[in-house]
Amino acid sequence: MGELLLAQTTDNAGQRGMGALVALMLFIAASVWLGTLAQRVVEKGNFLRGYFLGNRGLGVWALALTATVQSGGTFMGFPSLVYSYGWIGTVFIAAYMVVPICGFAIAGKRISQISRKAGAITIPDLFRERFNSPLLGMLASVFIMVFMSIMMVAQFKAGAIVMKLSLPGAESLALAEDTSSALDTGFYIGLAVFSLTVVGYTMIGGFLAAVWTDLFQSVMMWFGVLILLGLSLYAAGGLEAATKATIDSQGIAYASGPGAQHLKNAATGDMTIKPWLPITGAISLFCLWPFSGLSSPASIVRVMAVKDTRTLRHSVVVLCLYNMCIYLPLIMICICARAVMPDVKATDEVIPRMTFFVTRDLPGGSLLAGLILAAPFGAVMATVSSYLVVIASGLVRDLYLRWIRPDASQGEIRLLAYLAMIVVGILAVLANLQPVTHLQKLVVFSTSSTAAAFLVPLIMLCYWRRANAAGAIAAMLSGVATVIFLYGQGIVEQGWQQLEPARPLGFDPMIWSCASALVMGSLVTVITPPPADALAAKFFDAENSGESR
């Protein structure tokens, strides 16, 4: 079957592949154009606040569709899981039903208010000023840079894969899964094009470039996913036919929990079944997605940049509707993909491969494929550019300006910001010369780690008047230490290749790390002196409170 498809598509591969490439190039050009538009706005005011925070002017659409969720994981890792394990993938992602309201309504108002009162441009600024602690600011800065860099490396791989698959002639490989050297060359070309584009437009326009291109890309994703859904359902003969076909080929476990993968032993031909998402795993994820979303650095920065509270409120509604239109269709697409392409080995690539599969016989199919592929490509570019801004702001604002040269000129700061982005981009490319495996696992590790570092300290920052720097530092350190300990234990038990953490009682490290952060943060806070009254009053009392009236 695969050989037949390969033969059919190789004839016109060059011509068809060019269409996909043209579509992606148009998409890239539009993103760069948005970057230059953003640059004009940045030029108008204070460079730092404009470049790293968009002058606190984010509106509803910009906040809602860019603040949290889509990443390379959305279009690479997650579809890979649904393709492999079946309908249980819906439970894996179910918590996205409450991600919008949790992301904006639990701490959004307070974060944006406190960041204004503190004059904070970056997250370390926020912690440092709220708790009056340079050490806490430094810690926040280090954790952000380490964990976001890990996440970004994974994103570069995802971007390179999409670009690789859209290169002329590559789609035949997309169907036949050739793993020859041509594919590796394609990966490196893809990596180069992707890196130059994303670093380029982010460097030009900073935070606003990241947000505007993210918004544009999110809209493209919406169209891409819905078109792909229609084509996938058509290719599979409807969802019912697809589900029944997958149950027939994969067994009942494909349509039930905990989900199972049937692994065939090549030597003996024996089948073994590997269970996937136990109920404790489902519980962990229902905590992980909403609360890690709320405490993810890219998300916090956007909330800091919000224009007003009305924007926060309306963003909840927009993001709720958007999530429903993205995640549920993605699951259906993957079920259809399993029905029509049952043997994809590189499951991270299932969405790009499915795209080429369903458009292969359509007139103008290649151009359409390019437009659909813009969805995963856009998701990855969006994530990378927002991380680039956060990491560069960390290097410039939190390290250089705080510790090295507080009186640096605007020109010097600008040059340094550009340089920081280029260096981070180069490092990410170098890290991908030997591409990382297990994209989704790296994303989950990094998500768990940032949640461990920031969730509890962030809640303390927003709502606990008595909270002090010692307590926040204890919470941050114990959270991160717990995640690292559990991953370390998992690696000792199962080896590097698995990259699986230990899960005491079946619960994810995020649960344990947040519990330990909560306990340590509270304990250390109550046994150390309360914060200075003036500091607490600044962030917790009404403006005219305390004055005699």
Closest by CA to 230, choosing from 82, 358, 115, is: 358
Q: Is 534 in the site for other proteins (CB under 8 A)?
A: no
Compare residues 5 and 328 and give the one whose CB is closer to other proteins: 328
* CA 232 – CA 330 distance, rounded (Å): 10
Closest by CA to 51, choosing from 511, 512, 385, is: 385
Ranges within 195-224 binding other proteins (CB under 8 A): none
Compare residues 13 and 401 and give the one whose CB is closer to other proteins: 401
Least distance CB 451 / other proteins (angstroms): 15
Compare residues 251 and 435 and give the one whose CB is closer to other proteins: 251
Q: Is 463 in the site for other proteins (CB under 8 A)?
A: yes
Among 43, 240, 361, 493, binds other proteins (CB under 8 A): 240
* CA 106 – CA 94 distance, rounded (Å): 19
Among 2, 238, 488, 530, binds other proteins (CB under 8 A): 238
* CA 408 – CA 34 distance, rounded (Å): 29
Q: Is 141 in the site for other proteins (CB under 8 A)?
A: no
* CA 463 – CA 457 distance, rounded (Å): 10
Buried b (16+ CB within 10 A) or exposed e, 473-496: bbbbbbbbebbbbbbeebbeeeee
Q: Is 546 in the site for other proteins (CB under 8 A)?
A: yes
Compare residues 320 and 423 and give the one whose CB is closer to other proteins: 320
Ranges within 465-494 binding other proteins (CB under 8 A): none
Place of tokens 């940045």: 42
Ranges within 65-124 binding other proteins (CB under 8 A): 87-88, 90-91, 94-95, 97-98, 100-102, 104-107, 109-110, 112-113, 116-120
Among 7, 196, 241, 532, binds other proteins (CB under 8 A): 241
Ranges within 424-453 binding other proteins (CB under 8 A): none
Compare residues 194 and 327 and give the one whose CB is closer to other proteins: 327
Compare residues 17 and 293 and give the one whose CB is closer to other proteins: 293
Which H or E run includes 219? helix 181-236
* CA 374 – CA 384 distance, rounded (Å): 15
147 close to 453: Cβ distance less than 8 angstroms: yes
Compare residues 101 and 519 and give the one whose CB is closer to other proteins: 101
Contacts of 511 (CB under 8 A, 6+ apart): 283, 284, 287
Least distance CB 124 / other proteins (angstroms): 11
Q: Is 128 in the site for other proteins (CB under 8 A)?
A: yes
386 close to 212: Cβ distance less than 8 angstroms: no
103 close to 294: Cβ distance less than 8 angstroms: yes
Closest by CA to 369, choosing from 189, 517, 165, is: 165
In which region does residue 364 sit, left (phi positive, over 0), alpha (psi from -120 to 50) or beta (all else)?
left
Q: Is 411 in the site for other proteins (CB under 8 A)?
A: no
Q: Is 541 in the site for other proteins (CB under 8 A)?
A: yes
Compare residues 336 and 442 and give the one whose CB is closer to other proteins: 336
Binding mask 280-309 for other proteins (x = CB under 8 A): --xx--xx--x-----------------xx
Compare residues 163 and 233 and give the one whose CB is closer to other proteins: 233
* CA 511 – CA 492 distance, rounded (Å): 21
412 close to 171: Cβ distance less than 8 angstroms: no
Name the phi and psi angles at 267, rounded to 5.
-75, -50
Q: Is 457 in the site for other proteins (CB under 8 A)?
A: no
Q: Is 398 in the site for other proteins (CB under 8 A)?
A: no
Q: Is 243 in the site for other proteins (CB under 8 A)?
A: yes
Binding mask 4-43 for other proteins (x = CB under 8 A): ----------------------------------------
Ranges within 325-354 binding other proteins (CB under 8 A): 328
Distance separating the N- and C-terminal Cα atoms of the chain: 84
| The pair of three-digit structure tokens given for residue 431, joined into one six-digit string | 């890290």
Strand, helix or coil at 274? strand
Q: Is 138 in the site for other proteins (CB under 8 A)?
A: no
392 close to 420: Cβ distance less than 8 angstroms: yes
Stretch of residues binding other proteins (CB under 8 A), selected from 202-210, 224-232, 384-392, 399-407: 399-407
Compare residues 221 and 285 and give the one whose CB is closer to other proteins: 285
Least distance CB 548 / other proteins (angstroms): 6
Q: Is 179 in the site for other proteins (CB under 8 A)?
A: no
